[in-house]
Amino acid sequence: MQELARVNVFFGRNGSGKTSVLEAIHLLGMARSFRGNSVKSLITHGEANCVVYGMADAPGTSGAGVSLGVQRGVDGDITIKVGGGAVKSVAHLVEHLPLQVINADSFELLTGSPAARRQYLDWGVFHVEHRFLEQWQRFQRCIKQRNKLLRHGKIQPQELAVWTRDLATSGAAIGEYRKEYFKLLVPRFKGIVGQLVPSLAAGLELRYHQGWDRQASYAEALQNSLATDTEHGYTHVGPQRADIRVLLDGHLAAETLSRGQQKLVVCGLKLAQGQLVTEQGKGCCTYLVDDLPSELDLQHSRQVCELLASMEAQVFITCVDRAAIAAVWPADKAGMTMFHVEHGSVSPVSAAAV
């Protein structure tokens, strides 16, 4: 197995296989595609499964690698191995290879549904707060049961109360972890956006909405919404309704910013999370940047690259033309390897040619 450089650039024509390389790394770290939940896009048409394996430096250390392996089948089969042993939960894989993707779909973080932003937030909380996962799993179990009871109409108040009590505890914990994480995230985001797009930095604001009335505890909010929940058959309030609003001068950034500016703000959000993971001693985030130059002018591409170069994160970048990356990456290209991708084959090219 070949050890990879800190910065790896994959260039080649359309359809040569560049995004597929990033997909393979994403599969290794997250056990799924970054192009949606369908496993089909990962598996070569006509094949029954796909497999990827690699070594990741254990978070916070260097040199002591842990082997990771993921196999996915068209029939839904999933096998995950960490350090040679099979693990049942994807969460046990994810903690070994914190990944952030920046690609054409990343705009969704601003323009898409709150679910995308909750996923973003929870990625960060998961990596810095080890107690989060257990509460999150408990919450999912409770809300499923509670909604089932509410849906079925004939509700035993005592049974509902049991689930409501557990839901209130785990939901409040999730809200608290998210709030604490958000407090750490905001200044990092502001700092990074200040470097990327100084003209926007002063007007940009992140707001965290926990999913229930700020003045009330989660238990109180559940109590207040009991009649509505019973009438409609599901739980209306809680961390499942949380959101992060990104605003520019008080207006939704998604409705105000240009495409390029949106990409820069998304880069700011993702780089801020990577910075936080490292600061919290949870290792380095690995960035998968698909088609870095798209939507960005030369100056802003340079600024994104400067930040990526300064973060000591491992970076995998794709582009059609290698000259496009050579032109925007900082002059010191030590630690960068370029790969030519052609008909699905990847070959390193001489650094001197960069």
Ligand X SMILES: Nc1ncnc2c1ncn2[C@@H]1O[C@H](COP(=O)(O)OP(=O)(O)OP(=O)(O)O)[C@@H](O)[C@H]1O
Binding site for ligand X (CB under 6 A): 12, 14-20, 41, 43-45, 320
Q: How far is the CB of 343 from ligand X (least distance, A)?
A: 9
Which residues within the stretch 30-69 sit at the binding site for Mg ion (CB under 5 A)?
none
Residue 269 CB partners (closer than 8 Å, separation 6+): 109, 120, 189, 246
One-letter identity of residue 263: K
Q: Which is nearer to ligand X, 200 or 324 (CB)?
A: 324
> Which residue stretch of 12-20, 83-91, 158-166, 249-257 sits at the interface with Mg ion (rule: CB under 5 A)?
12-20
Which among Mg ion, ligand X, none contacts residue 17 (Cβ within 5 to 8 A by kind)?
Answer: ligand X
Please tell me the distance from the alpha carbon of residue 314 to that of residue 324, in angstroms, as a whole number: 19
Q: How far is the CB of 15 from Mg ion (least distance, A)?
A: 8
Q: Does 19 bind Mg ion (CB under 5 A)?
A: yes
Q: Which is nearer to ligand X, 17 or 54 (CB)?
A: 17
Please tell me the distance from the alpha carbon of residue 176 to that of residue 181, in angstroms, as a whole number: 9
Count how many residues are written for the chain: 354
One-letter identity of residue 310: S
Please tell me the distance from the alpha carbon of residue 159 to that of residue 35, in angstroms, as a whole number: 40
Nearest to 118 by CA among 165, 35, 36, 174: 174
Residue 183 near residue 169, CB atoms below 8 Å: no
Q: Which is nearer to Mg ion, 19 or 235 (CB)?
A: 19
Q: Which is nearer to ligand X, 41 or 169 (CB)?
A: 41
Q: Which is nearer to ligand X, 71 or 224 (CB)?
A: 71
Q: Does 106 bind Mg ion (CB under 5 A)?
A: no
Residue 338 near residue 312, CB atoms below 8 Å: no
Residue 66 near residue 48, CB atoms below 8 Å: no
Q: Which is nearer to Mg ion, 19 or 286 (CB)?
A: 19
Q: How far is the CB of 22 from ligand X (least distance, A)?
A: 8
Which among Mg ion, ligand X, none contacts residue 33 (Cβ within 5 to 8 A by kind)?
Answer: none
Q: List the alpha helices (DSSP H) in the chain.
A: 18-30, 90-94, 108-111, 114-128, 132-151, 157-196, 198-201, 218-224, 226-232, 253-256, 259-279, 298-310, 322-328
Q: Which residue has the tokens 């080649």?
A: 12
Run of H or E including 212: none
Q: How far is the CB of 55 from ligand X (least distance, A)?
A: 23
Q: How far is the CB of 217 from Mg ion (least distance, A)?
A: 47
Q: Does 303 bind Mg ion (CB under 5 A)?
A: no
Q: Which is nearer to Mg ion, 19 or 262 (CB)?
A: 19
Q: Does 16 bind Mg ion (CB under 5 A)?
A: no
Which among Mg ion, ligand X, none contacts residue 20 (Cβ within 5 to 8 A by kind)?
Answer: ligand X
Please tell me the distance from the alpha carbon of residue 107 to that of residue 77, in angstroms, as a whole number: 31
Q: Does 103 bind Mg ion (CB under 5 A)?
A: no
Q: How far is the CB of 16 from Mg ion (least distance, A)?
A: 9
Q: How far is the CB of 74 from ligand X (least distance, A)?
A: 10
Q: Which is nearer to Mg ion, 16 or 164 (CB)?
A: 16
Which residues here bind Mg ion, judged by CB under 5 A?
19
